[in-house]
Amino acid sequence: KAVSELTTAQAQQEIAKLQDDLTRYGVEYYEDDNPSVEDHVYDAFYARLVDLEAAFPQFMTPESPTQRVGGTNVKSELTKITHPVPMLSLGDVFSLEELQDWDARTTKALGFQSDYNLELKIDGLAVALDYENGELVQASTRGNGTIGEDVTANVKTIQAIPQRLSEPLTIEVRGEIYMPKKSFAKLNQQRELEGLAPFANPRNAAAGSLRQLDAKVTKKRELSAFVYYTADFETLGAETQSGALQRFAALGLPTNTTNQVISVMSYISSYITHYTQQRDTLDYGIDGVVVKVNALDLQLDLGNTVKIPRWAIAYKFPPEEALTTVRDIEWTV
Ligand code: NAD
C-alpha cells in the first residue's frame, strides 16, 4: 500500500514491525555473520522504512535501524575499542535518477558542481588500521560505528596489509577487508567436506574469518584488503580523495586502482555500466559504486548525519538476476 494511503495506526504498526524485523536481520548479518535474507530484500524493507519514517516522523526512534550504524556486537567476545572518529555507513540509491537527485542536493549545498571520485563498493567489512610512527599497532572493526572490536592479531595475518608503512606516520586509515572469490570457493568446498555449513557469500565469509578469537584461523582464510579513507588527511598530505588513494599506495597500503575522477555527472553512467558488466571478472565482490566529493575540504564542509556522510553516496547494483535492466538505462541530465 502506498505510504500516502496509510492511516496513522497502520503506519505505526508497519513501522514497528519493520524496525523489529530489520533489527533482527542486522543481528544475523553483523553479529552472527549468518544472514537469513538476501541483501536486496533487506534493502527493500529498509527503503520502505525510510519512506514511512519520513511521512510519520513521530514513530522514528533513535534505536531505529535507519538511525544506527551496523550492529551492537554485544555477544562478541572480542575486546571492544572506541573509535575516536565514528565509522559511518553510506547512504544508498538504487537508480540513476536517485543518483541525479543526490547530485542536485550536493550541488545546491555547495553552490557549485563538484568533481567526484568514483570508486567500486567493495563487498567486505570496514576496518580501521592505526599506525604509530609507521608501525601497525591496532586494527578494529566498525561495530556500531562508535564501538568496534579489536582484531589486531587477526589483521596482522593478512599479507596485503603492511606491518610498517614506507614513512613513519602516526595515522588511522580505513578500508575494506574482503575475501577473494577464489579463496571463498576453496573455503566453502573445504567446509562442505568437513560437514560444516557453507558461508552465504564472500562478505559473510570475510566477516566470520576476521572476527575470530584465534588469529590462526584468520591466517588460513586468505583475506585481503583495500584502503580508501582517513579522517586525518593533513597527516596523509592529500587534498583530494583521488590524491589520498595515491598517497595510500605510496605508503605501501593496498588500494583499488579502478577509481576515476569525473567533473560532469553524466560520465557516471559509463562507469556504472562498465563495472556492472565487468563485475563477474573481478576477483573481489562489489555491490555497487561509491560516488565521493573529491575535494577533502568540501567533504568537511558538507559533513555527516548521525549515520552517513553527506559527501558520498553508494549506488547499489541490482540483484544479479535483474542485471539486464540496468545495462540498457540511458543517463539523462
Ligand atoms: P553498506 O555496506 O551498504 O555501505 C557502507 C559501507 O561500505 C562502509 O562502511 C564501507 O565498509 C563499505 N565500502 C566498501 N567500499 C567502499 C568505498 N570504496 N568507499 C567507502 N566505503 C566503502 O552499509 P552498511 O551499513 O554496512 O550495511 C547496510 C547493507 O548491508 C544493506 O544495504 C544490506 O545490503 C546489508 N545488510 C544485509 C542484511 C541481511 O540480512 N542480508 C542485514 C543488514 C545489512
| 163-178: average pLDDT | 98
ipTM: 0.97
Helix (H, G, I), strand (E, B) or coil at 289: strand
| 113-137: average pLDDT | 97
**If you average pLDDT over every residue of the chain, what do you get?**
93
Q: Tens digits of per-residue pLDDT, 69-118? A: 987 776 678 999 999 999 999 999 999 999 999 999 999 999 999 999 99
Residue 43 counted as an annotated binding residue? yes
Return phi, psi of residue 136, to 5°: -70, 115
Residue 140 counted as an annotated binding residue? no
| 11-38: average pLDDT | 94
Cα 194 to ligand 1 centroid, rounded to whole Å: 30
Q: What is the reported pLDDT for 266?
A: 85
Q: What is the reported pLDDT for 74?
A: 67
pLDDT at 139 over 90: yes
Pocket test for ligand 1, best of 39, 48, 69 (most atoms within 8 A of CB): 39
> What atom in ligand 1 is closest to the CA of residue 30?
43
What pairs with residue 150 in β-bridges?
140
Nearest Cα to Cα of residue 245 among 259, 234, 235, 231: 259
- Model confidence, pTM: 0.93
Q: What is the reported pLDDT for 33?
A: 85
Query: Which residues are the active-site residues?
Result: 121
Residue 42 counted as an annotated binding residue? yes
> What atom in ligand 1 is closest to the CA of residue 307?
25
For residue 3, CA distances in Å to 21, 59, 62, 260, 315 come to 19, 14, 21, 38, 24
Q: Say how many C-beta atoms besides its own lie within 10 A of residue 74's C-beta.
A: 10
Residue 156 counted as an annotated binding residue? no
CATH class of 80-327: alpha beta
Q: Tens digits of per-residue pLDDT, 247-294? A: 999 999 999 999 999 998 888 999 999 999 999 999 999 999 999 999
Q: What is the reported pLDDT for 321?
A: 58
Q: Residue 30: which residues within 8 A CB-CB, separation 6 or more? A: 70, 71, 73, 207
Pocket test for ligand 1, best of 89, 229, 256 (most atoms within 8 A of CB): 89
Q: Is 219 exposed, middle or buried (0-12, 13-18, 19+ CB in 10 A)?
A: middle
Q: Tens digits of per-residue pLDDT, 198-248? A: 998 999 999 999 999 999 999 999 999 999 999 999 999 999 999 999 999
Q: Tens digits of per-residue pLDDT, 26-73? A: 999 998 888 999 999 999 999 999 999 999 999 999 999 999 998 777
Confidence label for 330 from pLDDT (cuts 50, 70 and 90)? very low
| 161-180: average pLDDT | 98
Q: Where are the domains of the chain?
A: 3-67, 80-327
Cα–Cα dist 268/291, whole Å:
9
Residues contacting ligand 1 via CB (< 6 Å)? 25-26, 28-29, 35, 37-39, 42-43, 70, 89-90, 92, 119, 121-122, 126, 142, 176, 228, 290, 314
pLDDT at 16 over 90: yes
Task: Please provide the CATH number assigned to the domain covering 3-67.
Answer: 1.10.287.610
Q: Tens digits of per-residue pLDDT, 298-329? A: 999 999 999 999 999 999 998 875 444 433 33
